[in-house]
Structure 1
């Protein structure tokens, strides 16, 4: 069968966009083909800095012929109906239609419409230009004189050429002709910018890939990564060193070169006095180079760089140029590092430990956010919250408060001022130099973690307390000023902060409620938590607004109406030791829902089924992150068993019967059945089984034994099967029917001990 080959050739595409763009191209093209009835055998998309390439294998030469019978009006219908039928069916007269008879409706007209399948190149000439014009680049640009015209093409970088061919392996492929933004499709591409800039004629993907190899272009990004990694390891090994591997940097560098050439540079030994974190950060961020280490783990005065050309001098000039830049950056870093050291105890100088850096941070009134106050005010809020959280995560409150006080002090150091990417790292180093407790020093670095899905979470209790306090303060503050993420925009990384909170709790097996951003379990009622967050903001936050005289039950009722997962806020009487204050209910509910959505994302990334997550979240009072995860895991294991599958089937049968009958009768059957009315042994067995299973499941849930609760419900399977096999629910006797429907409603309620089964799919 014929294959499609498509290449979009442009100026350099940013490395971070290449993989996603290749996948977007594949999805957009294949989805458009399938939507039009063109099925295919396989597709592959690739990217280099200057091109996106796509091959789709096994496409038909043309679309399927369509034969459709369209029913028209009855014979003798008004002329307007007849004319509308002819026009819609594309017929010139009724002679082209046939008449069919129906015993009930009489005779009516039928049009047989036959449309031949369209040639695939014709369809591609429609699909590809539309995709190119609407391609979802994160950022795009217009260029040239045409950019002034409305509707001109926008692309990530100027688009130079388009290759689009279609045909079988055994024949010369056809060029699919179209034009996009003044660029006409053809069969010519170009190789490496310097080594092979001339035109290359392309027939299909196989000869395209081979031609690019000859033209000094490695098409596959994973192959470029493999070349870089292995050559770098070999160069390091030859010098008796080891490569400090960095997957993120490797991915980026592979997106910067079409033909990777790996070289080694060096810098003076004296620069190794700089903390290794700073050396690595500046060489990585500014030069996109890898650092090397000795076998004892210390950094070496060597680095690996990747060039995009094969120089005649073996790369000597390229290496020398990179060494000059690295030397200049490290000279600055060394100066700032020495300056900061002179300000620490034990060194000559005036003496400015981190406490004095903090005092400077506060005295300068450096603004964190115009509506959320200064960094100094924020430090005080984080310190207070870290002290309260510390006992709940097993940390020493004094150490947590000390770490929170110093967490942002390194922002005022010379090194972090010049290299902001090492904030936290340098704070830890300075704290160690001035003799702080190891947990305090570690927390200064780790409170920023996790900074991404692959980053580790803090595990030291002091680090956990400060990390949670920092992220909670951020979330509460930005929700207070109504700066929430919208769509794909999240300028303050609030989604990352919420996910960081979730990962920190779940991966450390910590028991805190989902809504602990507003209430510290057993210590404060929600409004007190908000009041504490609001006061250091000097009345900038407006969470607390007068809303009438609310008693405890009234306030809880409003909270539950906003979020069905808020019930357990009152599970401990001591939570009400501080009288509840009026709260801004709508905004609180919004933040609670945001946390719930982030937890769903986290669980889905862990492989949990979305419907099982929804089934657990549908229950009231689901505010404990760790227990939600455990419940979802247990539910998944139950439904993987035969008993679980059959129990779900029985539940659905019961729920469907109840839904139909309750709608018909206009009432609910959620009442206890009358044991005296059980006429059949299957009814009695199911009722007895439900009583045992409900009691056992309820006790297991109370003991947080979700596996036990699932097992208790699974034991209902034989009784449920026997009931539906031997009992007619809609009996002729109204009292008997009523009682059996109540028994089914009892089964429906029993399953809600562990999850809302109505949310489970499949």
Structure 2
């Protein structure tokens, strides 16, 4: 086995951008790994990971081969008919090839491929020393890093995220001589800017983490993270409270400090009269502080993280408390002024705020959402009047001073103002919950009224977005239609609301301005199937609305877009793609029913009969598609001549009778489990019976039998997707 030594690369810089730091570190680490792989240099990665602080990016690998393996080369030369003349002597083409390879033509080997025999030059040379390759390995890794706005410094041509000041490059105990971004490599790192402002000797790579810790630098981000959490929690416990530690805030603090030290601070309790969300937003977003809560309620305490172990913590505390007061004072002023105006009065200004040029003002959107919410509420047992009122007030806080300063408080501020105005508690809560889920992984609205409002809001956004030609393209999604579609689907499914997605989309689309509808219909992607047209026409008839196939195409596109968002939703829950496709092909009218079918397919797939039945169902589908005669609607028992087909017909009828009630109550698990018991009869049928009999009547009867079987399976899902 080739000798191996540990490798350390550390690039020291000015403070790197906080939010980009983890990505830069990972890219540097991955780039080094890729560059080693590209050159065939073996290594043991072990549990190695990116190491970084605000002032450095580092890669430590415990074992890297000290040289490449032998490098084999094969260069193809001319074919014999070109390489040799009629006397078997080398042509100029062969002589040139041999000269380029540095050998006599007679030393070349021959090989045969699909086109014939040709000359080839094969050689083996010793691999390069890893030490000689490392400078270009580091350069390759740096060149591949995603730096959107590289900086230049001095009068040099090179650029990086921030100016570079030092480079540690060690293979074992040896310093590898290199110059990268204008800096010559060494074994001297640098400690904490204030706590240990002097060079740090790194004897060999394995000493790196400990040596830096001794210099008041925690280069392992996991170690910094754990220390921050422990100190923040301890500080909060010292006053009998709990700390609020969000992932985003924690990660940013991890990227701001090299030697974290928690400082417990406080502010005047009078500020607690302001909605706690505003104060929390200020602490986390603007100052990167950690709020301190008691029983879920904000207290006058907070924790700041210093990048220094101060000899006078009181001065650090005063500084943190001093910077937070102006922001809190602003929030209190905005809140008090908004209370004077009142939430209802704020809504007057929405008539002058454009939501989208083709879709009208925000007030127009509110009116559409209110109508949708009222209709949905009636179907799910929620008071329609309350739903309408909550929708009417849901956007008013966009005109508030508080939301103007803190956009993230949309809905949350509205809830506080609604309570102050004496609105019903459910209405106030729904105004805040209408925005949920706000981000990936967030919970849906909790209250029934909030769920109704969230559904109505997202329906209008989706329908309006598609009608106005705002469909996402690539990474562009200005109206967040992807997030809205997933939020709509999640809210309906997780609420268990048995609503028709066809009706919801149709109502939302038909409420969009007619001019916008007409433009959308003209620009539709493609004509849809007749089946789609029939399904939607039935719903439009129920809604007493007349519209064209072009409009229906847009509605189907909205449905397909929404279902496509569910693909990722179920994948995250571990649902195989084949299970999703089996249900999605049916386009169930209810998304809650969609979810029930997904669960049933998962249980069916676990049965030992599932794979064979799925394959049989696929086979049946292909047979029925190729049928060259009209398939009878019923089975004629007098035409059942083979024992296997009689047995299958009897078993199918029994299974259908046993599952009618279960299918009616949407107990798809029972339906599929009962149908799974048909496997012996299905297998026997295909073993003994020829479906395409010469007699058209017999052939049609057998096709009718298979169709009856397929229809019952197909009433739950397209199970052929489970067949590999």
For the aligned pair, the TM-score class normalised by the smaller chain equals 0.7 to 0.9
Cα distance change of structure 1 residues 206 and 728 upon mapping to structure 2, 3 Å threshold:
farther
Aligned-residue offset at 1:502: 1.9
Question: 2: CA distance between counterparts of 1:668 and 1:310?
Answer: 85
Structure 2 CA distance, aligned partners of 1:567 and 1:312?
78
SS, match of residue 564 in structure 2? helix
Is 1:560 the equivalent of 2:570? no
SS in 2 for 1:368: strand
Contact 1:393 1:464 in 2 (8 A): no
Distance 2:112 2:691 in 1: 41
Shift of 1:118: 4.0
The runs of 5 or more residues in structure 2 that have no matched partner are: none
**In the TM superposition, what whole-angstrom CA distance separates every residue of 1:255-309 from its partner, at most 9, and x where no partner exists?**
22121110012222322332323322222222221222346x5533222111111
Of residues 360, 372, 380 in structure 1, which corresponds to 2:349?
360
From the superposition, tell whether residues 376 and 626 of structure 1 become closer, same or farther in structure 2 (CA, over 3 Å).
same
Name the CA distance, whole Å, in 1 between partners of 2:723 and 2:123. Answer: 39
- 1:441 corresponding residue in structure 2: 428
Aligned-partner Cα distance in 2 for 1:732–1:354: 76
Among candidates 15, 18, 33, match of residue 18 of structure 2:
15
Alignment of 1:76-91 (within 5 A): 79=84, 87=97
1:669, 1:172 → 2: CA distance? 83
Unaligned runs of 5+ in 1: 344-351, 521-528, 548-554
| Residues 670 and 731 of structure 1: CA distance in aligned 2, closer, same or farther (over 3 Å) | closer
Q: Residues of 2 paired with 1:445 and 1:267: CA distance? A: 27
Q: CA offsets, 1:228-269, max 9 Å, x none? A: 222222222223333344343223222221211100122223
Q: How many residues align?
A: 708
Q: SS in structure 2 opposite 1:387? A: helix
Check conservation: 2:468, 2:520, Cα contact below 8 A: no
1:282 is aligned to 2:282: yes
- The alpha-carbon deviation at position 482 of structure 1 amounts to 2.1
Find the aligned partners of 1:567 and 1:36 in 2 and give their Cα distance: 61
- Alpha-carbon distance between aligned partners in 1 of 2:436 and 2:67, rounded to the nearest angstrom: 54
Q: Name 1:550's counterpart in structure 2.
A: none
Does the CA-based 8 Å contact 2:434-2:454 persist in structure 1? yes
The Cα RMSD (Å) is: 4.7
Q: Which moved more, 1:213-222 or 1:38-47?
A: 38-47
Per-residue deviation, residues 627-677 of structure 1 (Å, max 9, x unmatched):
33332333233333433345456668x599x79xx9xxx998997999999
Residues 1:411 and 1:109: Cα distance change in structure 2 (over 3 Å):
closer
The residue correspondences of 1:55-66 to structure 2 (distance < 5 A) are: 55-63=60-68, 65=70
Q: Write out per-residue CA displacement over residues 313-361 of structure 1, whole angstroms, 9 at most, x where no aligned residue.
A: 2x222221221122222222223333333x2xxxxxxxx4322121234
Secondary structure of the residue aligned to 1:559 is coil
1:444-477 superposed Cα distances (whole Å, 9 cap, x missing partner): 1111111112322113222112212222222222
**Which of 600, 611, 631 is equivalent to 2:567?**
600
Q: Which residue of 2 aligns with 1:349?
A: none
Using structure 1 for the length normalisation, give the TM-score: 0.78
Who is 1:485 aligned against?
472
Question: Secondary structure of 1:300's partner?
Answer: strand
Give deviations 1:576-596, integer Å, cap 9, x for gaps.
632224645665454333322
Measure how far apart 1:426 and its partner are.
Answer: 2.1
The answer as to 2:585 corresponding to 1:643 is: no
Q: Which residue of 2 aligns with 1:715?
A: 677
Residues 354 and 360 in structure 2, CA contact (< 8 A), matched pair in contact too? yes
What's the counterpart of residue 391 of structure 1?
Answer: 378
How does 1:162-561 map onto structure 2 within 5 Å? 162-166=167-171, 171-172=172-173, 175=176, 177=178, 179=180, 181-182=181-182, 187-202=187-202, 205-294=205-294, 298-313=297-312, 315-341=313-339, 343=340, 352-362=341-351, 365-514=352-501, 518-520=505-507, 529-534=508-513, 539=515, 542-543=518-519, 558-560=527-529
| Distance change >3 Å, CA 530–CA 492, structure 1 → 2 | closer
Does the 8 Å contact 1:400/1:465 carry over to 2? yes
With over 3 angstroms needed to count, the CA separation of the structure-2 counterparts of 1:76 and 1:416, relative to structure 1, is closer
